[in-house]
DNA sequence: ATCGCTATGTTATATTATAACATATTTAAT
DNA sequence: ATTAAATATGTTATAATATAACATAGCGAT
């Protein structure tokens, strides 16, 4: 297992498990609802865990959806370079793990010469299934 | 003037003018506050205008900041391909208009062969000024 | 044992965004 | 000009997302 030596606190572990086992990105309040039975009762508890999991690179936030997804990409445990594929029809979301793309973007500098240490890219289109259904 | 032949309704024009003249991206409720004197009183009026301006490509939403910025990039009046540079320190935000980048991303296909008709990219780093101030 | 740091618990509130419905205005067809 | 459809606006209420502020608990290092 590519298990990094990073400990999760109790709440962090509870919340990570839920996100990790979900089939789709989860919203903060849906997470809150799921963890009520585990004793986590209030939004700050959820948001604090989310913040830390993001900083650790264990999860990412899909900004255009306000939803959280577990990182399946052992490369980006630093959470500073993320790319997602989002289907406009069924909302299926997957993390893109493409070395050429990440290299291209990590090395990108704009016309003023500014360099970046972090990026987030969200692609939208129709996934295979939805494209088929339309044709 | 590269004035496109697209009419803005009264509220759309009021709200576009404010965003266009702002030095930085504006939040919806700060726009609402600014336009109270023009008779726009409620959030839905602002959000509706924002939605339509976005669809027209006249403005873009900075997803990571929930803020709205006028498009200065005559290319992207279709709003389907956006890239921004965001300074982590002073929050300066500018739209990146780089032909190589936009071509690369428009033609990108992931490992499953999926193609995209829209993307949004947000780069983070330190702008020139902030980098200087740190050194 | 005490200090400093991190995590947690809790209440209240701030911020962002939409639902739902009524009315008005514009556009296009008859 | 009359009507119908489509678009835009006005209005109230509420939903959804996120943070402030403060109190308490746990834990590791000196
Ligand atoms: Zn990842
Ligand atoms: Zn799909
Ligand atoms: Zn633009
Ligand atoms: Zn700066």
Q: Which chain residues have CB less than 5 Å from ligand 4, an ion?
A: B 87, 89-90, 92, 127, 130
Give the gyration radius of chain B's Cα atoms.
Answer: 16
More confident residue, A94 or B4: A94
Mean pLDDT over the full length of chain B: 91
DSSP summary character for residue A121: E
Whether the full predicted model's pTM is greater than 0.75, yes or no, is yes
Instruction: Name the minimum distance, in Å, from the CA of A4 to any CA of chain B.
Output: 26
Render pLDDT for B57-102 as a digit per residue (tens, 0 to 9).
999 999 999 999 999 886 555 668 999 999 999 999 999 999 999 9
Quickly list H helices, B36-86.
43-56
Neighbouring CB atoms inside 10 A of A40's CB total 19
- Distance CA B80 to C1' D5 in A: 30
Taking an 8 Å cut-off on Cβ atoms, the answer to whether B101 and A108 are in contact is yes
Distances (CA, A) of B106 to A82, A107, B100, B114: 17, 18, 10, 12
Structural domains in chain A, CATH included, are 10-70 (1.10.10.10), 81-134 (3.30.1490.190)
Give the pLDDT score at B1: 28
């Amino acid at each position: 297992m590519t298990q990094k030596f990073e400990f999760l606190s109790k709440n962090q572990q509870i919340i990570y498990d839920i996100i990790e086992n979900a089939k789709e990105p989860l919203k903060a309040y849906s997470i809150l609802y799921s963890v009520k039975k585990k004793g986590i009762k209030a939004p700050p508890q959820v948001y604090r865990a989310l913040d830390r999991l993001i900083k650790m690179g264990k999860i990412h936030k899909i900004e255009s959806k306000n939803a959280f997804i577990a990182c399946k990409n052992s490369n980006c445990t630093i959470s500073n370079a993320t790319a997602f594929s989002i289907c406009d029809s069924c909302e299926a979301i997957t993390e893109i793990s493409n070395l050429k793309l990440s290299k291209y973007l990590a090395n990108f500098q704009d016309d003023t010469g500014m360099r970046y240490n972090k990026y987030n890219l969200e692609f939208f289109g129709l996934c295979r299934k939805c494209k088929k259904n339309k044709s």
